[in-house]
Structure 1
Amino acid sequence: MTDVAHTHGMVGLAGLEARLAQDLLYLELPAKPWVPEKRHEGERVRDVVVIGAGMCGLAATAKLVLTGITNVVAYDAAPEGSEGPWVTFARMNTLRSPKSLAGPSLGLPQLTFRAWFTAQFGEQAWEDLDKIPKDMWMDYLVWYRRVLNLPVENGVRLTGIHDAGDVIALDLLDHGEARRVFTRHLVLATGRSGLGGATIPPFLEGVDRRFWAHSADDIDFKALRGKRVAVIGAGASAMDNAATALEAGAASLAMLIRRKEMPRINKMTGIGSQGVIHGMHRLPDAWKWRFVDYTAAQQTPPPRSSTLRVSRHPHARFYLDCGIRSVVERNGALDVETTQGKMEFDFLIAATGFSNGFTNREEFAGIAPFIRTWADGRQTADMGPMRSNMSDAPDLGPDFEFREKVPGTCPMLSRIHCFNDAAMLTHGKVSGDIPAVSAGADRLARGIAAALFAADVETHFANLIAYDTPELQGDEWVDSTPLLQVEGTR
């Protein structure tokens, strides 16, 4: 960008921020703080702690603050500017979502990516833009956080969750130093990995990690130059990792795809609507299961551009109907036994997604045994065959709150909210993807606001009684009652 364009962009961005500030003023946002202060063991208790400051964490935090719940903080283990997947393990060139989506703007036009982009680069540049570069999306989220002055602390990792009566105790590792904070509500905005983490196929168990990685790992692609690389999977992440390895100079690249045919149709995109966003979570359980089960069976195709990014390399090979039977390290390489015969590679990338199981996450050890899943009651025989990633999903309440497997065993679960990808089966895709994140943040904030008000109802009623600022001063009229009484005696 030229110096002139850069200067113009800064002026334009300043103007956008001024318009946003005016819109917030006109809408009386943020709302005035209204939650009574609470203390525990002499320390101030947060009203809400959000774990994660990626897109969903920022949207949730912003909506809470705008709702007048200002005693909130978001913690993220990553350095500032590296939250979420966008500049870490997201290896596509551009976002897959259409550029025009409102995303986390919370109904505020000046907070959209389009407003941010056009303020800097102009309308013609917007028209010329095909898809949003992923690094630019991260720049937008950094601006989003700054312009809303959101309370985010980086370098802070959650290590434990404990019941402390009417509050929740959180153990944190803050830049290497252990500390504890208390909160009334906890939001787990932990992104695509949700509550579990990377799904590792059984055939990779015991294989030295020098020879393989999950697609969400920090992979040294430069080290793959001249290597024989295989990628397991056919989704968007598989294509992105394969393309990155090829562009880094891999000698050969094999896509090992279990399916006989590549999925070609993105089914959920075809029915995307406000009805889906606001109606899915209200459907009977059998219908929720049916939608998610069908789309899982059909699978989501990788974007055309991502696939072409791989196939344009002459030394890339697509092996369909290629299941993996075993992986064995031998003489500094991997012998991979597949349904199409034996293959040898120097490095393997497993683009095998994430799991909903949360029993292996240390930070969730205090709550995992008590969380009710769909397998604990919501799934019924008429829903069809079990899918572990669906059956393991938490059985959430209307405000994304966890439910107890056995009532009374862990009451604090009702104040812990699952605002991440694991909520999809209960709530639809409103807590992990760009299209509906604002609707999800609104649903979450409304639920927490209602719960906080109900918990403090006696205080609010006492405030109602104590309020004594008169609207009328007593000099606005003349009392005619004595005159009427005199006239009535005549």
Structure 2
Amino acid sequence: MSDLNAPIGLAALEQRLRQDLEWLELPANPWVKPRLSDGQATLDVAIIGGGMAGLALSAELRNLGVSASIFDQAPAGFEGPWATTARMETLRSPKQLTGPALGLPALTFQAWFKAQFGQAQWAALDKIPRLQWADYLRWYRQVLNLDVHNDTRVSRVQPRADGLVELDLVQDGQTRTVLARHVVLATGRDGLGGPWVPEFAKDLPYELWAHSADGLQDEWFVGKRVGVIGGGASAMDSAATALEAGAARVDLLVRRADLPRVNKGKGAGNPGMTHGYWRLPDAWKWRIRRYLNAQQVPPPRGSTQRVSRAANSRFLLNSPIVSASLDPAGAIVLNTPNARLEYDFLVFATGFRTDFALRPEFASFARHIQTWSARFTPPADEFDAELAELPDLGTCFEFQEKTPGACPGIGKIHCFNYPAALSYGAVSGDIPAISEGAKRLAHGLTGQLFNEDIEQHFIAMQNYAEPELLGDEWVVAQPTREELRG
């Protein structure tokens, strides 16, 4: 008798996925009308970024019969942070979340895991190991045969008045230009900027510090006194990395008097928030996001214990940095309200900010983007400088002009990354709602592509001539004589 809990293997899972897609009549046949510009073909949708968000959007567009090309500067299989800069042992998200599966059970991480390792190992699994998640996303891309162009850096994004967007693509030192009808920025957590550090960091020699997103290397920490600035998940991961690399001592310097204990975002983590948030009035969107920013997300319990288990780690709470300098021996001196601390190396686990100066590829349109600060004034006690600089997006995640007419075509560029959170909620990068976000944007793009070519679609409808009746399905009858006289 066969064991129903035994692994079925990836080949069997992939066959089931093919069957599911066939039963659902997916993907739809391509239907978008080809468009040329001066003899050059245009892409329907170009997606910048081949991480989870870019893959999910591309897959949903394909299901709807729309072709999408993904461009990512990383080598194949190393898109996103999972196998490069991330240092957590496991994901925070519960293992059973469906993630980018788009409503297809056979496309979930759970199905992928069980197909290889079986039910017993699934039951024993606590959280998803980070590198295993990277492997799952590699399989996701492969099994759906998505069009991803790796080792390709987008050096310029230029909206045009004719409604097309030019992209300069750099590969192997060569630059080529492609045209797209719509461009989606699926560029992740630092989507419109990059890592943020406090001003005093810039006065310190760069070889003495790093940001937590820099891809921490063990040799940076061996035998050193390390200070980690921050108290969130990335701070715990950075501290643990330094400790496990052989740091002499690692201190976590946290401004707060206590670490946050409750993830308030889970308090409304339901379909109502996912589908209702983006319909809320501006005041409510601001109020929710500002509250979440203020409360902050606690670091995962396991990540925190990974640090506290080490005898040479310290949690220094209520320790904002007042000043920083170098002593004559070259050590970093940090002054807090309570102490004078010396370190050999610092890690800033201080998050990301919108900063277009860090993204020269967006220079042609960045200054024209309408931000929330240009349109919405919050109550004085709810001001948040970080939120104020986020883009005020339209109904299809598109950028809007700060000054009407100043940057034609900017609405063909869509923001599907973390900075979209104020306009749309957590649907453009977080695992719990990424499928819903990908579907929402894909449906919007599909509708726009159809509407843009409505004349051609109407002509095609008029020219459609495949008969359903052939004329031999009936015999023409004549009225009887009585009926004719009647």
Same fold (TM over 0.5): yes
1:324 aligns with 2:321: yes
Cα distance in 2 for partners of 1:114, 1:176 equals 40
- Alpha-carbon distance in structure 2 between the residues aligned to 1:314 and 1:144: 41
Deviations along 1:104-147, one digit per CA (max 9) or x if unpaired, are 00000000000000000001110010000000000000000000
Matched, 1:290 2:287: yes
- In the other structure, the counterpart of 1:4 is none
Q: What is the DSSP-based 3-state SS (H/G/I as helix, E as strand, rest coil) of the residue aligned with 2:45?
A: strand
**What is the CA–CA distance in structure 2 between the aligned matches of 1:133 and 1:218, rounded to whole Å?**
18
Residue 342 of structure 1 aligns with which residue?
340
Match among 58, 65, 68 for residue 68 of structure 1 = 65
Give the 3 Å change call, closer, same or farther, for CA 381–56 of structure 1 in structure 2: closer
CA deviation vs aligned residue, 1:356-410 (integer Å, no higher than 9, x gap): 2334410110110110000010x22437432121001100112111111111222
Q: 1:211 to 1:439 in 2, by over 3 A?
A: same
Deviation at 1:486, TM superposition (A): 7.8
Give, in whole Å, the separation in 1 of the partners of 2:379 and 2:240. 42
154-163 or 117-126, larger mean C-alpha shift: 154-163
Task: Kindly indicate whether the alpha-carbon contact (under 8 Å) linking 2:92 and 2:300 is maintained by their aligned counterparts in 1.
Answer: yes
Matched residue of 1:287: which SS? helix
2:377 to 380, 389, 408: 380
Deviation, structure 1 residue 9? 9.2
Q: Distance in 2 between matches of 1:364 and 1:207?
A: 29
Number of the residue aligned with 1:20 = 17
Establish whether residue 413 from structure 1 lines up as the match of residue 373 from structure 2.
no
Normalising by structure 2, we get a TM-score of: 0.96
Q: Distance in 1 between matches of 2:174 and 2:465?
A: 48
Q: Partners in 2 of 1:56 and 1:187 — Cα distance?
A: 10
- The answer as to 2:30 corresponding to 1:33 is yes
Displacement after TM superposition at 1:485 (Å): 8.3
Q: CA–CA distance in 1 between the matches of 2:43 and 2:269?
A: 37
Distance 2:19 2:416 in 1: 30
SS in 1 for 2:84: coil
What does the per-residue CA deviation read over 1:286-329, in whole Å, with 9 as the maximum and x for residues that have no partner?
11111111111111110111111001111111111111122223
Deviates more, 1:172-181 or 1:429-438: 172-181
Shift of 1:413: 1.7
Q: For 2:357 and 2:391, locate their aligned partners in 1 and report how far apart those are by CA, in whole Å.
A: 12
Distance 2:7 2:169 in 1: 38
Aligned equivalent of 2:79: 83
Equivalenced residues, count: 480
1:452 aligns with 2:449: yes
Q: CA deviation at 1:40?
A: 1.7
Unpaired segments of 5 or more residues in structure 1? 1-7
Q: Does 1:354 align with 2:362?
A: no
SS in 2 for 1:191: coil
The one-letter amino acid of 2:348's match is A
Conserved? CA contact 1:286–1:383, under 8 Å: no
- Pairwise mapping of residues 140-159 of structure 1 onto structure 2 (< 5 A)? 140-159=136-155
In the TM superposition, 1:194-213 aligns within 5 A as 194-213=191-210
Question: What's the TM-score once normalised by structure 1's chain length?
Answer: 0.95
Tell me if structure 2 keeps the 8 A contact 1:94–1:132: yes
- Within 5 Å, which residues of 2 pair with 1:408-487? 408-480=405-477, 482-483=478-479, 487=483
Distance apart, 1:11 and its partner CA: 5.8
Query: What corresponds to 2:187 in structure 1?
Result: 190
User: 2:361 & 2:7 partners in 1: Cα distance?
Assistant: 42
In 2, Cα distance between equivalents of 1:230 and 1:484? 102
8 Å contact from structure 1 (residues 357, 389) kept in 2:
no
What residue number does 1:489 align with? 485
**Could you list the runs of 5+ residues in structure 2 that have no partner in the other structure?**
none
Secondary structure in structure 1 of the residue aligned to 2:91: coil
Match of 1:247 among 244, 248, 265: 244
CA distance in 2, matches of 1:339, 1:351: 20
Judge conservation of contact 2:159–2:412 (CA < 8 Å) in 1: no
Task: Tell me the distance in 2 between the aligned counterparts of 1:426 and 1:248.
Answer: 41
Aligned residues: CA RMSD:
1.6
State the AA in 2 paired with 1:76: D
Distance 1:53 1:10, change over 3 A: farther
Q: Quick check: 2:374–2:402 contact (8 Å CA) kept in 1?
A: yes
Name the aligned partner's letter for residue 225 of structure 2. R
Match of 1:131 among 127, 131, 146: 127
